[in-house]
């Protein structure tokens, strides 16, 4: 450990150093006992890389000094370090992994040395130097922020765990909202997605419990798995007209969701797509839908009226498992009725009315 003696470390800092696992190549891979790491830590100059998840969930860590010897901060390196209030990224850093500072809910100051050639800091947000990519946000920030118009990408886990920020303006230049970009962002109550966005990534807004409404523009062609899962405050959703599939778990456990407008471009309603949406009462499935996958509406205990068209050729097992026992289905053909009865969802004949097309 180079130059540690020159730093006049406190006894606490010396104790913390002994908990670090550092390879001969200078990669800090892990903390031997994360529950024992507490207080402040000064990394030795022998460290050149902080590995993936190295300090994740070290809730007792309250401050850290990262020396200029370090060039890489790995993925989720400080994820969930709830005791940290400030982090200074040195000029030597050339690579910051996704979610490096995510879920640090008390992090108020996140800065980058002006000498850094790859990244820059502004208002406690880290961007690439050209400000085209938003890399990380101090999760303890309050009120609202405006993302610069230069940004075209929001990195994975960039806003994960933010609790104080209540609103955010996404600029028109954004084309993709990355996987987990806003996941567990519990303070978010409203968001406007611009017409430039075409892709909403996996778990992009999952666990945003404060989000009550969202408008998804018709420019969006892909909504990936679990994108809005566990958004427990979301009451209604209108899906864009350019998507063809509602993916796996996209709206699962949105327990306040009372209504959803499914466009007539949808061909597939995926696995667990609306499972445990306990406030959902009525569902009209459009004529475009061919497949309803396993557990798609399982445990939607509030469902009372469901309309299924004759375009449907496949209903997966348990698609309507454990819904309201008094729910009524209107289907457009005997073949759809047969699919429904054989889906393993315990749907009885008397719950189904066949209304053929005129």
pTM beyond 0.75? yes
- Residue 16: count of CB within 10 angstroms of its CB: 24
Q: Which residues have a Cβ under 8 Å from the Cβ of 75 and sit 6 or more positions away?
A: 52, 53, 97, 98, 99, 100
How large is the average pLDDT for residues 114-127?
Answer: 97
In contact, 136 and 125? CB cutoff 8 Å: yes
How large is the average pLDDT for residues 320-331?
Answer: 94
Q: Given the DSSP bridges, would you call strands 119-122 and 125-128 parallel, antiparallel or unpaired?
A: antiparallel
Q: Which helix (H) or strand (E) holds 339?
A: helix 334-341
pLDDT of residue 215: 84
Higher pLDDT, 151 or 8: 151
How large is the average pLDDT for residues 108-122?
Answer: 97
pLDDT of residue 253: 98
pLDDT at 4 exceeding the cut of 50? no
pLDDT at 237 exceeding the cut of 50? yes
Mean per-residue pLDDT over the chain, rounded:
93
Higher pLDDT, 251 or 14: 251
pLDDT at 147 exceeding the cut of 80? yes
3-state helix, strand, coil in the chain (%, to 5): 5, 25, 70
pLDDT at 336 exceeding the cut of 70? yes
pLDDT of residue 2: 36
pLDDT of residue 59: 96
DSSP single-letter state for residue 238: E
Nearest to 102 by CA among 136, 126, 153: 136
User: With 0-12 CB in 10 A as exposed, 13-18 as middle and 19+ as buried, what is 222?
Assistant: middle
pLDDT at 164 exceeding the cut of 60? yes
How far from the centroid of its chain's Cα atoms is residue 235's Cα?
19
pLDDT digits (tens, 9 = 90+) for 255-309: 999 989 999 999 999 999 999 999 999 999 999 999 999 999 999 999 999 999 9
CB environment 94-133: b (16+ within 10 A), e (fewer): eebbbbbbbbbbbbbebebeeebebbbbeebbbbbeeeeb
Confidence of residue 358 (pLDDT cuts 50, 70, 90): low
pLDDT at 1 exceeding the cut of 50? no
Strand partners, 292: 269, 315
Nearest to 302 by CA among 323, 286, 285: 323
pLDDT of residue 187: 85
Confidence of residue 356 (pLDDT cuts 50, 70, 90): confident
pLDDT of residue 161: 87
Q: Tokens 């699962």 belong to which residue? A: 252
Q: What sign does the dihedral 23-28-34-40 (CA atoms) show?
A: positive
Confidence of residue 86 (pLDDT cuts 50, 70, 90): very high
- What strands, in cross-sheet order, belong to the sheet with 27-31? 20-22, 27-31, 49-50, 72-73, 95-96
Our CA angle for 50, 51, 54, nearest 5°, is 90
pLDDT at 239 exceeding the cut of 60? yes
pLDDT digits (tens, 9 = 90+) for 70-84: 999 999 999 999 999
How far from the centroid of its chain's Cα atoms is residue 275's Cα?
18
Q: Given the DSSP bridges, would you call strands 133-137 and 143-146 parallel, antiparallel or unpaired?
A: unpaired
What is the Cα–Cα distance from 202 to 211, expressed in whole angstroms? 17
- Residue 220: count of CB within 10 angstroms of its CB: 20
Nearest to 136 by CA among 67, 79, 205: 79
In contact, 310 and 288? CB cutoff 8 Å: no
CATH numbers and ranges of domains, the chain: 1-112 (3.80.10.10)
Our CA angle for 52, 58, 63, nearest 5°, is 100
Residues of the chain with pLDDT > 70, as a percent, come to 98
pLDDT of residue 6: 47
């Amino acid at each position: 450990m180079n130059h540690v003696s020159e730093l006049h470390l406190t006894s606490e800092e010396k104790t913390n150093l002994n908990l670090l696992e550092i390879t001969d190549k200078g990669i800090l891979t892990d903390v031997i006992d994360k529950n024992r790491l507490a207080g402040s830590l000064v990394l030795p100059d022998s460290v050149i890389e902080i590995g993936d998840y190295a300090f994740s969930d070290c809730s007792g860590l309250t401050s850290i000094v990262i020396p200029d010897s370090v060039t890489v901060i790995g993925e989720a390196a400080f994820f969930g370090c709830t005791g940290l209030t400030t982090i200074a990224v040195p000029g030597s850093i050339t690579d910051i992994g996704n979610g490096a500072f995510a879920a640090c809910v008390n992090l108020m100051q996140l800065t980058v040395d002006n000498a850094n050639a790859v990244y820059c800091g502004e208002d406690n947000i880290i961007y690439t130097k050209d400000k085209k990519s938003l890399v990380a946000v101090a999760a303890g920030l309050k009120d609202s922020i405006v993302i610069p118009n230069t940004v075209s990408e929001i990195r994975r886990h960039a806003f994960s765990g933010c609790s104080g920020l209540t609103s955010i303006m996404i600029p028109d230049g954004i084309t993709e909202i990355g996987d987990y970009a806003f996941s567990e962002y519990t303070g978010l109550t409203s968001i406007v997605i611009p017409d430039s966005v075409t892709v909403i990534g996996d778990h992009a807004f999952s666990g945003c419990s404060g989000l009550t409404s969202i408008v998804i523009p018709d420019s969006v062609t892909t909504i990936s798995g679990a994108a809005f899962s566990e958004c427990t405050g979301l009451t209604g959703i209108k899906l864009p007209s350019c998507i063809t599939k509602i993916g796996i778990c996209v709206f699962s456990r949105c327990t306040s969701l009372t209504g959803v407008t499914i466009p007539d471009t949808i061909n597939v309603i995926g696995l667990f797509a609306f499972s445990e949406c306990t406030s959902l009462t009525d569902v009209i499935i459009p004529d475009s839908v061919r497949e309803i996958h396993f557990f798609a509406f399982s445990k939607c205990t509030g469902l009372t009226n469901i309309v299924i068209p004759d375009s449907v050729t496949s209903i997966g097992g348990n698609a309507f498992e454990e819904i309201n026992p008094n729910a009524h289905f209107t289907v457009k053909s005997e073949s759809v009725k047969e699919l429904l009865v054989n889906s393993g969802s315990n749907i009885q004949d008397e719950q189904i009315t066949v209304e053929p097309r005129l």
